[in-house]
Amino acid sequence: MGIAFCGLSLEQISELLLNDPPRGASLAVTCNMDHARELSINPDFRAAYRSASIVTMDGKPLQVYARLWAGLTVPHVTGADMFLRMFKGLDPARHRPFFVASTDEVGSAIVAALVARGFDPDGCGYAVPPPGFERDAAGTTALIEAINLHRPTQVFFGVGAPKSEIWIWQHASRLAPAHYACFGAALEFLVGTKRRAPGWLGRLGLEWLWRLASEPRRLSRRYANSFYFLLSLLRKKPTQIDLLNENR
């Protein structure tokens, strides 16, 4: 599909993002079916993906597609799993994490959990950007200043795709060197403001069904579009698909 998926395991990727010095504002993204569909129509999202240092295969349907239609075995590494693994590995002696959260409730709960683990309150921070910050110069400047002032080692975005990935790509030259990772609802799963699907549903590739049942009004159109996009992929040969460029 034109995407260079990372072949490392969940543990290996997490250790890399926790321990390797970043090269500038280094972007990590987790590709699910909705991302794949968005890549087919959004040139800025494609540019953000091309700039990413790590792309994991988050969607189970994508993993099955890669195996059956292209003969490739790619590890299934979800954003929720990667965020939880990295969160557990954060060390107050080595890390200065920063969280871009959807609400103050989420951000403050995450910081409180880290302080309870021994982090200095100044060693972990968060910001809640206003709606539409990605299209607003003042909102963008305020978020950049909050991130840079913290001098982070890792920055975790939990405000949704594709705006998180595109925003990081567009402003990478203004952002402090760090590992930037986009995890969507994973921050809310961690603090309990949203419930993640049971593990057995995730192993069957049906976590999307749990999400749909939890938020039908918000997610029904997204999953319907993703389903039709998957059908369109199945009607093509793998050599006809290049999601990071205009489809041939």
Q: Tell me: the pLDDT tens digits for 158-217? A: 999 999 999 999 999 999 999 999 999 999 999 999 887 777 766 766 676 666 777 777
Residue 70: the pLDDT is: 78
pLDDT in tens, 25-46: 999 999 999 999 999 999 999 9
What mean pLDDT is predicted for residues 116-141? 96
- How does 11-32 read in b/e, with b if 16+ C-beta sit within 10 Å? eebbeebbeeebeebbbbbbbb
Burial of 119 by CB count in 10 Å (0-12 exposed, 13-18 middle, 19+ buried)?
A: buried
Instruction: Measure the CA–CA gap between 2 and 23, rounded to whole angstroms.
Output: 23
Please name the residues in contact with 208: beta carbons below 8 A apart, sequence gap of 6 or more. 33, 223
Element (H, E) at 219: helix 216-234
Residue 210: the pLDDT is: 66
Residue 230: the pLDDT is: 83
Residue 28: the pLDDT is: 97
Q: Let me know: does 155 contact 129? Beta carbons within 8 Å.
A: no
Task: Enter the tokens of residue 10.
Answer: 């969940």
Residue 223: the pLDDT is: 74
Give the pLDDT band (50/70/90) at residue 60. confident
Q: Let me know: does 127 contact 101? Beta carbons within 8 Å.
A: yes
Q: What's the whole-number average pLDDT of the chain?
A: 91
Residue 246: the pLDDT is: 64
